[in-house]
Structure 1
């Protein structure tokens, strides 16, 4: 009887280890997946490089939308260029 709690604890620990070993990271194609801190920092730097100024409240919607379009176009161009390189000749 004294071994039963140890056996149950061991089984629970083994099941949790087994489940975590087969856990998959979120897919990058899923837009609802949470971003990592590095991805958020990279997005912020890309928007700032595209001309977004978070302190410019007068032109807020326009400058944010303009920067968003620039960043989206750059990423589409990078994705297109990457796909062209991976095609067999």
Structure 2
């Protein structure tokens, strides 16, 4: 293996490491990570809004409709000052 091919191989390895690290980056959440109970509560909320995770045929529409319903319900609870109103997940 000559010097040029080692430099190219090293550059390629460095680029792969950089892109994989950037792909794993998560957006900053000031509230911290969600707990298991919060995730379960959100799932129940989505299921009650009509989301079916097994309905892969109508997937995008199903999730978008349920997401809109969940957002409306959260906005209504926040407007009413309900203590159980959760901030939308990001």
TM-score, structure 1 as length reference: 0.56
Gaps of 5+ in 1: 1-28, 84-89
Aligned to 2:30: 30
Aligned to 1:53: 52
Structure (1 or 2) with the larger CA radius of gyration: 1
1:30 and 1:79 map into 2 onto residues whose CA distance is: 19
Q: Matched residue pairs, number? A: 54
Instruction: Determine which structure has the larger helix proportion and give its number.
Output: 1
Extract structure 1 runs of 4+ deviating beyond 6 A: none
Gaps of 5+ in 2: 1-28, 83-90
TM-score, structure 2 as length reference: 0.55
